[in-house]
Structure 1
Amino acid sequence: MSRKYAVLASALGALVLACAPASAQTALKWAHVYETSEPFHTESVWAAEEIAKRTDGRYTVDVFPASQLGKESDINQGLTLGTVDIIISGSSFAAREYAPIGVTYYPFIFRDAAHLLNYTKSDTYKALTKGYEEKSGHHITATTYYGTRHTTSNRPIAKCADMAGLKIRVPDVPAYLAMPRACGANTAPIAFAEVYLALQNGTVEAQENPLTTIEAKKFYEVQKHIVLTGHIVDHLNTIVSKSRWASLSDEDKQIFTEVMQEAAARATEKIVAREKELVQVFKDRGLTVTEVDRSDFENNVIEKVTFEEFGYNKADWEAIRAIQ
């Protein structure tokens, strides 16, 4: 080879090496159904930046909030179809792939946020998330406290029987339906993004969600009463698709896991703090906030709803209830 061509080959080789990092960059899609003001979104954006930073730019992550890539059922399906790489979603939807994990949505299984967080460190949590991964192929990296679910309504509710005939929007998930149906309510499975309008036009007269969600979605504008039923201590999982997780090196799996768990802890801290403030905030906005005897609601659920009809294992329920 002549000196001229040797120099040219060397220059081309250097150019290829210089371009390698850019060509090796992988763009990922992270989807959820929550508002941009909520910690689930702000901490997802933080996590996206951290993943890019800690992988030296080998991965970039675009976060799509507020159902931009579809309803919660759609983005769960997207994990399998390959249209999304990462989602934030509840175990209620994971239960469509692996029913036993849905026991965590059975009403009154958790006492409070601390109980839920202790569960995420337990052998029962490891077994249920492993069961989901074996069935679906997708990997749960972290769990975030979503908030304790309460009921809002345009009619006063003081006890379970007061919900008889109430038209209430509830997610189309078995465990969410348990408490309202045990109290005689008529449930309607309206998509999350459409709940405000449904309340406003009277399609339904009630809904149930954490106080932070009631604030973020402005449900307080179209509801008169907040009833502190506290029937579900809710949570969300950060899930990486089967194909994406399989493509990661062990080192990158560790980075993704650490970042996502840090983001979950940051979001949880913000949710817990905001919940403590919101009862007074809603009172100041003119809503009636009612404390109720939760045992009345719990007893009706236990009496009228069985674990077996949902595909849950009573042993899992007992193990979780026993966690201190």
Structure 2
Amino acid sequence: MLCFTLKRATVAALSALTLSAGAITQAETLRSADIHPNDYPTVQAVRYMGELIKKRTDGRIEVKIYSGGALGSEGDSIEQVKLGALAMTRVSSAAMHNICQTTRVPSLPFLFRSKDHLHKVLDSDIGDEILKSCEDAGFVGLAWYDSGARSMYSGEKPIKTKDDVRGMKIRVQQSDLSVAMIEALGGNATPMPMGEVYTALKTGLVDAAENNYPSYESAHHYEVAKYYSLTEHTMTPEMLLFSKRQWDKLSDADRDIIRKAALESVPYMRKLWSERENTSRAVVVKAGSEIIEPDKASFQAAMAPVYERYVTTPEMKDLVSRIQAVK
């Protein structure tokens, strides 16, 4: 509680300092937040982006990254970016579901057939369209990062079929869509910030959680949930967001430099991500985690109500159709 309070205080102090400073000057540090540790692929990718920006502005603009949740949860970071207290944040697109409705589409369960399919979609006009749709909410979408496939993991019993989920308390991201997905499987969804999941698993507050290999490993969840079931139910991508308030104060030239640097960081991040997935899997297997190949068909068959509930507008239905049509 004390740690959380201190983080809140840090965020508030940063907000006051940045807002009082006004526009980004010609010698400025862009502050960026991430809940993941310093060596995580998303953090390294933003650091690489910052190096490009610094070089191309002759040192006028630098990027300072607050990693490891130093400025609070993803929700905290989103709030500060909207206010202009932070320049950037890297968040899961799930954290934007209730702010920017179209971000729900790439989080739909079993929407993407493969990593290649995901990349083709995000690198196309479809990906650009979803990023741009967040501008009215106060965010400039710069790029998409990988987040791998999310799978379920548990401590007391392995998850092999949809029926195994029934009655289980499962931690999900703070997203209505994530909640609906677990409920469709008969589970009890428990939304909570990432930083609280380890203790929740250890104490039995939740029976299971769901995430990718690197998060399962880096957050040490494998220590308290040894059964990792490859449901691969979603490939919810990450978003790199810039504050619209700060963006509007930048020159066209600096905007161009920042946007290009963000896009150039994408293939760098994907390479790091692929390497990290392999490393993380090896770490958890060595530590004793059991990797389970579940009956994916039983999970996928239960998802129709989720689509009916959340793909509600003509725009979203069109996006789903266009994504499914990408070869």
What TM-score bracket applies, with the shorter chain setting the length? Answer: 0.7 to 0.9
Q: In the aligned structure 2, how far is the partner of 1:61 from the partner of 1:100? A: 28
Count the aligned residue pairs: 300
What percent identity do the matched residue pairs reach?
29
The answer on whether the counterparts of 1:182 and 1:301 sit within 8 Å (CA) in structure 2 is yes
| SS of residue paired to 2:68 | coil
The one-letter code matched in structure 2 to 1:35 is P
Q: 1:317 aligns with which of 296, 317, 320?
A: 320
Asked if the contact 1:170–1:207 (Cα under 8 Å) also holds between the matched residues in 2, the reply is yes
Measured in 1, the distance between the counterparts of 2:312 and 2:194 equals 25
Paired with 1:146 and 1:274, the residues of 2 have a C-alpha distance of 11
Aligned residue identity for 2:149: T
Instruction: Give the Cα–Cα distance (whole angstroms) in 2 for the partners of residues 99 and 187 of structure 1.
Output: 21
Deviations along 1:271-321, one digit per CA (max 9) or x if unpaired, are 12332454454333212111012121011112x323444656222112112
Query: Which of the residues 187, 192, 195 maps onto 1:193?
Result: 195
How far apart, in 1, do the equivalents of 2:277 and 2:41 lie?
13
Q: Kindly state the Cα deviation for residue 50 of structure 1 after the two structures are TM-superposed.
A: 2.3
Matches within 5 A, 1:96-135: 96-133=98-135, 135=136
- Does the 8 A contact of 1:106 with 1:178 survive in 2? no
Question: 2:298 — aligned with what?
Answer: 296
Distance (Å, rounded) in 1 between the aligned partners of 2:103 and 2:324: 14
Whole-angstrom CA distance in 2 between matches of 1:102 and 1:132: 12
Deviation of 1:149 (Å): 0.4
1:133-148 matches, cutoff 5 A: 133=135, 135-148=136-149
Which residue number in structure 2 is paired with residue 6 of structure 1? none
Aligned equivalents of 1:309 and 1:246: distance in 2? Answer: 32
Instruction: Determine helix, strand or coil for the equivalent of 1:306.
Output: helix
The code of the aligned residue for 2:194 comes to F
Give the whole-Å Cα distance in 1 for the aligned partners of 2:59 and 2:279. Answer: 39
Give a deviation string over 1:24-50, Cα, whole Å, max 9, x none: 411221111111121111222222232
Q: 1:93 to 1:281 in 2, by over 3 A?
A: closer
Name which of 156, 159, 181 aligns with 2:158: 156
Q: Match of 2:12?
A: none
Counterpart contact for 1:107–1:178, Cα < 8 Å: no
- Runs in 1 of length 4+ with deviation above 3 angstroms? 276-281, 306-312
In 2 relative to 1, CA 254–276 (structure 1 residues): closer, same or farther, beyond 3 Å? same
What code does the residue aligned with 2:144 have?
Answer: T
Partner Cα separation in structure 1 for residue 253 and residue 69 of structure 2 = 31
Q: How much is the aligned-residue C-alpha RMSD, in angstroms? A: 1.8
Q: Which amino acid letter does the alignment assign opposite residue 141 of structure 2?
A: I
Distance 1:193 1:63 in 2: 18
**Is the Cα contact below 8 Å between 2:145 and 2:237 reproduced in 1?**
yes
Describe how 1:205-244 pairs up with structure 2 within 5 A. 205-244=207-246
Task: Report the CA distance shift for 1:183/1:308 in structure 2 as closer, same or farther (over 3 A).
Answer: closer
Unaligned runs of 5+ in 1: 1-22
Write the distance in 2 (CA, Å) between the matches of 1:127 and 1:211: 29
CA distance in 2, matches of 1:36, 1:311: 39
Structure 1 residues 307 and 77: CA distance shift in structure 2, 3 A: farther
2-side partners of 1:80 and 1:179: how far apart?
Answer: 28
Deviation at 1:228, TM superposition (A): 0.2
Is the 1:51–1:256 Cα contact (8 Å) retained in structure 2?
yes
Q: Counterparts of 2:308 and 2:126 in 1: how far apart (Å)? A: 17
Offset of 1:108 from its aligned partner? Answer: 0.6
**One-letter amino acid of the structure 2 residue matched with residue 321 of structure 1:** Q
Q: Is it true that 1:66 corresponds to 2:68 in the alignment?
A: yes
Could you say which residue in structure 1 is the equivalent of 2:51?
A: 49
Q: Conserved in 2, the CA contact under 8 Å of 1:144 and 1:264?
A: yes
Deviations 1:171-204 (A, max 9, x none): 1202222332111111111211111111111111
For residue 239 of structure 1, report the CA deviation from its aligned partner: 1.0
Q: Give the conservation status (yes or no) of the 8 Å contact 1:175–1:310.
A: no
With structure 1 as the length reference, what TM-score do the two structures score?
0.87
How far is 1:78 from its partner? 0.8
1: CA distance, partners of 2:203 / 2:114:
34
Please name the residue that 2:287 is paired with.
285
Q: Whose Rg is larger?
A: 1
- 8 Å contact kept, 1:141–1:261: yes
